[in-house]
Chain A
Amino acid sequence: AQKITQTQPGMFVQEKEAVTLDCTYDTSDQSYGLFWYKQPSSGEMIFLIYQGSYDEQNATEGRYSLNFQKARKSANLVISASQLGDSAMYFCAMWLNNNDMRFGAGTRLTVKP
């Protein structure tokens, strides 16, 4: 079954510290893409970072990095130097060869001052 799992419904982090949001996936496809999106309380979906299944290096975008472990089928998001504005829901998503897109249930991150 094609599935994305985010096991942390909620996470807390102290401002300026790093935090890792977990994401595991299940697919038999060899070619797929992994995305992370941020959804603030205002509701919009903001693209953060992308990792292709054939990319050998972990993706990075500013304070965001994706810890891609293909053998373990995990694609964890690391946010460095957390800011209060990072408080939001975070969704991991997978794009499959059959043109299906699957999202995880999300992790609510709260950054504490």
Chain B
Amino acid sequence: DADVTQTPRNRITKTGKRIMLECSQTKGHDRMYWYRQDPGLGLRLIYYSFDVKDINKGEISDGYSVSRQAQAKFSLSLESAIPNQTALYFCATSARTGPQHFGDGTRLSIL
């Protein structure tokens, strides 16, 4: 089983819909992150959480919200999806020091 699991893996939806992407991890890490990847831009940090009560905005948080339901679960929501939020979304986890470990990504298309 994957250490960092993202669901769904793919999602196509319409403009204006509310979308939730979920992430769960079995690595026991306190820190969790959400990124989006656009072609030619690399990954950009949306939100990060260092524990259940700690949520922080990243570089591009507008239009997104997150919820840290438990140490192992971190969900990303798009309250009213728009086409320019079409992207590949990654969840990642890390210990206090060391590398981030990524899930396999969620490919989101907003029509």
Contacts and interface: CB of A to CB of B under 8 A. Distances in A.
Nearest to A35: B99
Interface of B is mostly: strand
A42 to B, nearest CB: 8
Nearest to A36: B99
Contact of A50 (B35, B90, B98): B98
Contacts of A104: 42
B42 A44 contact: no
Which A-B residue pairs are the 5 nearest by beta carbons?
A103-B42, A45-B102, A47-B99, A103-B43, A105-B42
Interface residues of B, number: 25
Interface string B45-59: 100101000001011
Main secondary structure of the interface of A (DSSP, over half): strand
A50 B99 contact: yes
A62 interface: no
Contacts of B90: 45
A44 B105 contact: yes
B29 interface: no
B22 interface: no
Contacts of B105: 43-45
A4 B40 CA distance: 13
Interface in B7-60: 33, 35, 40-45, 48, 50, 56, 58-59
